[in-house]
Structure 1
Amino acid sequence: MSHFWRLKMMLTWLAVATAIVFDASSLFAASPQVVRPAQPVGGPTVVQLNQQDGPHILLRLDMADMIDRRLRATRGDIRTLLMGAKIGFNGLAVSGKAVQVRITDPAQIDAAKTALSPITAPAADGGVREMTLDGSEPGLLNFLLSDEGLKHQTSIAIAQCIEVIKNRLQELGVAGPVVQTTDQDGILIQTAGVPDLQILGNILTRPGRLSFQLIDLSMPVMDAINGRLPVGSLVLYTQDDPPIPYLIEKRVVLSDKNVLDAKASYNAQGDEPVVVFRLDSKGTAWFRQITAQNVGKPFAVILDDSVISAPVIREPIDSGFGQISGNFTVQEAKNIALLLRTGPLPARLTIAEEAR
């Protein structure tokens, strides 16, 4: 297990440039902003996998993860639309390839269908109707992910994954890679001169999702594990041995979407590799507000669904620069910074094949 997971990492915010051995603004002065991949108008070109094509990695889209994320997003949209229309509901849940919700007042069924019409509207970028509505059971609205919708979402996810992979390969300095689809859910990466394809594949398939979320102090975490979780919270673990549990509020205070740039550097003493990142204006303002409201309370730094740090908010954080520190190797700090610069994958990828 790497040092990255062995330690309790510490998040230190850079309030003034004199607190560190470099000027944070000058560190990022020549760095371009991260460009998130846009949703494609058409799908990527599909090629056939040829075993004689030389060194390559074949990745597969985790369809279950992609479907789950799409349905959870739909569940959130349904909640927002019904609350905005002041329509009572219960039983909002994901079930199979559908999201269902029960309208508490039968007289509001038609109003609910009108409020939720954006859920079944054709997608703006392709005209595909991703969700269909089954209202055959009285009071119950069942939104199903259509076959066309699944195919459309798969095409979008593959195209976005390819953009993230290309950015990561460029950041790693891999020369002349070819990245193409092989079929509906496969991505073929052909490259030469890489000494360890397994290490490369592990970096390319890391989700790279970073978030900052408040820790729920309403009950001891073991009570939540052994009893009933508070509404709006979940239990996440560190990757220590044994893992340490934390009761985390589901609300995301800050995410990787607010990170403009990230670089590996050193701490103020110059003896420890760290990851320094720069926030956008929205992230800076939002985090300033949240930290001002929660002084003295802990929050969690979460990378790929694992808690990597749980510092206490000592004062309002109003700087646009942050520093993640721990007992990193130089390479670990570079890898984390790379993930933050290139952005997260839209869905999980698995390594299906490696050929040297």
Structure 2
Amino acid sequence: MLHFDRWKVALILLVCFAGLAYSAPNFIPKASLQGVPEWLPHQQINLGLDLRGGSYLLLAVDTASIVRDRQQSLVNDVRNALRSERIPYTGLGLQGEGVSVRITNPEDVEKAREAIEGLSTIVSGNAFSTLPERDLAIVTTERQITVALTEAEKIARTQSAVQQSIEIVRRRIDELGTTEPVIQQQGTDRILVQVPGLDDPQRLKELLGQTAKMNFRLVSNAMSGQQALASRTVPSGTEILYTADEPRAPVLVERRIMVGGDRLVDAQPGFDQRNGQPVVNFRFDSSGARQFGEVTRNNVGRPFAIVLDDKVISAPRINEPIMGGSGQISGSFTVQAANDLAILLRAGALPAPLNVLEERTVGPGLGADSIRAGEIAAVIGSVAVVVFMIASYGFFGLLANIALFLNVAMIFAALSILQATLTLPGIAGIVLTIGMAVDANVLIYERIREEIAAGKGPIPAIEAGYNRALSSILDANITTLISAAILFQMGSGPVRGFAVTLGIGIITSVFTAFTVNRLMVSVWLRRRRPKTLYL
């Protein structure tokens, strides 16, 4: 038990050295690490929102708009289904929570119902259920057919929208260059967003609050927006939208979308070569480029409105066909506004608007106070443990303290390598680990005392102490590790931060308190060969 092969000694020393090396950058100013080669340890622990400061938002997905959009598309689907079967109808439109249509000829009612039933599908996620649920509920009353979304379809669309929103929010925030944002679902329709280091929650709200549904439409040449407002009559197939810039001006645009924003493949901020003003340069995919080229070729001389979330952000005149599949969005942009718009377009449109339910900003001063309080608690806890171990076990207590120091270094190294986020509860987990780390040594040393009291010599007593304490050490730490894993899986935010440091601390403490400590005791025994043992 006290014998170590050379390769085992080399491996233990290598792990200890790596722990010290990878934890060292955390005690060096970040500016001093800029010139460190990539192959050397240079990563520091990411500080969470409560330590570093930053912005916190709780967002709610507008589920009502998801259902409303699906109902609007259902109107078009029913229209196309009836037209394809050449079935006369009247009164097609939204009525209550469904789509209602009246069939003109009574003999066509059954045929119409079959055509509409063809639109129904099994709700996503239930395709392999023994009782699959469908997305549409169809009710026929004489010549009236009503089509409504089932509850299963509403739930499925909400879940899909939330997951899609989380990915788009993550892409938008990643474009800001922030480190380790926390983006996770809460409940059925809420999204928690924590962005450490970002102290401008207003910009974050503006970035996440825009749906960013972009499209390109022609400006109507029937009349101007002001004339349409004054006459209170809007020509068929057009609508009045307003410009995004202040003062807001009405623009009469055609309802037909000439090119959809989903055809964009890239958007980058830049500067107009003519006047040096910030602009956004965009590029379409092959299909979008073909549509864009055809529209600009057939409508030279007409204004072409670029619409974002039902606001006209620019309406340049088409001077010549644009066949390259790329263009430029100009307006009264600042550099930051152009950059934010490019981020929105690159990340894609949200499936539904996000409403801000709660917002908080944690200043870096509060984070510094939290770090200082955590450091004081760690120092007090460490000093108390060190004094207790030396007072209780003398030289063996000193060896336990050396193992404890290596344990803390390995925790910092693991957090740095994994780029895990350290939170205030995470510091509490480290402080707790410091107290728990010496438990294994206390168990071992008390076992050794029992063996010495039974009359055994130093080497047999030490070997028996390590052998008999091992099972108790493993039992205690494995159960705690299971608890940490459950906290990480079921918890969120600060709870996860605590679980991460606690779990890492348990693994490193078993290694240092048992393996490293045993190696140090073994080396001491071989060199000193004591006749009696005072413990």
Pairing of 1:268-347 with structure 2 (within 5 A): 268-269=273-274, 271-347=276-352
Q: Which amino acid aligns with 2:186?
A: T
Q: Who is 2:212 aligned against?
A: 208
Per-residue CA shift, 1:163-190, capped at 9, x if unaligned?
1001111111121112111111111112
Structure having the higher Rg = 2
2:267 maps to which of 262, 265, 280: 262
Query: Is 1:134–2:139 an aligned residue pair?
Result: yes
Task: Sort the Cα spacing of 1:118 and 1:178 in 2 relative to 1 into closer, same or farther, 3 A.
Answer: farther
Q: Which amino acid aligns with 2:209?
A: T
Q: Which structure features the higher share of strand residues? A: 1
Task: Sort the Cα spacing of 1:273 and 1:79 in 2 relative to 1 into closer, same or farther, 3 A.
Answer: same
Aligned equivalents of 2:71 and 2:346: distance in 1?
A: 27
- Report if aligned partners of 2:305, 2:314 keep a CA contact under 8 Å in 1: yes
The alignment partner of 2:145 has SS state of strand
CA RMSD, Structure 1 to Structure 2 (Å): 2.3
The alignment partner of 1:334 has SS state of helix
- Report if aligned partners of 2:117, 2:138 keep a CA contact under 8 Å in 1: no
Pairing of 1:17-166 with structure 2 (within 5 A): 56-124=56-124, 126-127=126-127, 128-136=133-141, 138-166=142-170
- Report if aligned partners of 2:263, 2:285 keep a CA contact under 8 Å in 1: yes
- Report if aligned partners of 1:120, 1:133 keep a CA contact under 8 Å in 2: no
Per-residue CA shift, 1:199-225, capped at 9, x if unaligned?
212211211111111223345545654
Task: Sort the Cα spacing of 1:224 and 1:108 in 2 relative to 1 into closer, same or farther, 3 A.
Answer: farther
Aligned equivalents of 1:351 and 1:264: distance in 2?
A: 27
Query: Shift in Å at residue 233 of structure 1?
Result: 2.4
Query: Shift in Å at residue 317 of structure 1?
Result: 2.2
- Report if aligned partners of 2:284, 2:325 keep a CA contact under 8 Å in 1: yes
Aligned equivalents of 1:89 and 1:75: distance in 2?
A: 13
TM-score (norm: length of structure 2): 0.53
Query: Shift in Å at residue 268 of structure 1?
Result: 1.6
Query: Shift in Å at residue 345 of structure 1?
Result: 0.3
Deviates more, 1:230-239 or 1:331-340: 230-239
Aligned equivalents of 2:197 and 2:90: distance in 1?
A: 56
Q: Who is 2:397 aligned against?
A: none
Unaligned runs of 5+ in 1: 1-50
Aligned equivalents of 2:106 and 2:222: distance in 1?
A: 36
Task: Sort the Cα spacing of 1:270 and 1:295 in 2 relative to 1 into closer, same or farther, 3 A.
Answer: closer
Query: Is 1:238–2:235 an aligned residue pair?
Result: no
Query: Shift in Å at residue 118 of structure 1?
Result: 3.2
Q: Who is 1:175 aligned against?
A: 179
Task: Sort the Cα spacing of 1:232 and 1:80 in 2 relative to 1 into closer, same or farther, 3 A.
Answer: farther
Aligned equivalents of 1:107 and 1:232: distance in 2?
A: 33
Unaligned runs of 5+ in 2: 1-49, 128-132, 363-535
Q: Which amino acid aligns with 1:86?
A: R
TM-score (norm: length of structure 1): 0.79
Aligned equivalents of 2:262 and 2:276: distance in 1?
A: 30
Aligned equivalents of 1:221 and 1:274: distance in 2?
A: 25
Aligned equivalents of 1:109 and 1:260: distance in 2?
A: 45
The alignment partner of 1:234 has SS state of strand
Give the length in aligned residue pairs: 304
Per-residue CA shift, 1:131-150, capped at 9, x if unaligned?
211112x2222111222111
Q: Give the percent of matched residue pairs that are identical in Structure 1 and Structure 2.
A: 37
Aligned equivalents of 1:311 and 1:191: distance in 2?
A: 37
Query: Shift in Å at residue 153 of structure 1?
Result: 0.8
- Report if aligned partners of 2:224, 2:251 keep a CA contact under 8 Å in 1: no
Aligned equivalents of 1:241 and 1:336: distance in 2?
A: 17
Task: Sort the Cα spacing of 1:102 and 1:235 in 2 relative to 1 into closer, same or farther, 3 A.
Answer: farther
Q: Which amino acid aligns with 1:308?
A: I
Q: Who is 1:40 aligned against?
A: none
Aligned equivalents of 2:203 and 2:57: distance in 1?
A: 11
Deviates more, 1:192-201 or 1:332-341: 192-201
Task: Sort the Cα spacing of 1:126 and 1:260 in 2 relative to 1 into closer, same or farther, 3 A.
Answer: farther
Q: Who is 2:196 aligned against?
A: 192
- Report if aligned partners of 1:259, 1:340 keep a CA contact under 8 Å in 2: yes
Query: Shift in Å at residue 99 of structure 1?
Result: 1.5
- Report if aligned partners of 1:87, 1:103 keep a CA contact under 8 Å in 2: yes
- Report if aligned partners of 2:313, 2:331 keep a CA contact under 8 Å in 1: no
The alignment partner of 1:120 has SS state of coil
Pairing of 1:212-231 with structure 2 (within 5 A): 212-219=216-223, 221=225, 224-225=228-229, 226-231=231-236
Task: Sort the Cα spacing of 1:312 and 1:270 in 2 relative to 1 into closer, same or farther, 3 A.
Answer: closer
Q: Which structure features the higher share of helix residues? A: 2
Aligned equivalents of 1:222 and 1:268: distance in 2?
A: 32
Aligned equivalents of 1:187 and 1:232: distance in 2?
A: 37
Q: Who is 1:31 aligned against?
A: none
The alignment partner of 2:273 has SS state of coil
The alignment partner of 1:119 has SS state of coil
Aligned equivalents of 1:90 and 1:161: distance in 2?
A: 37
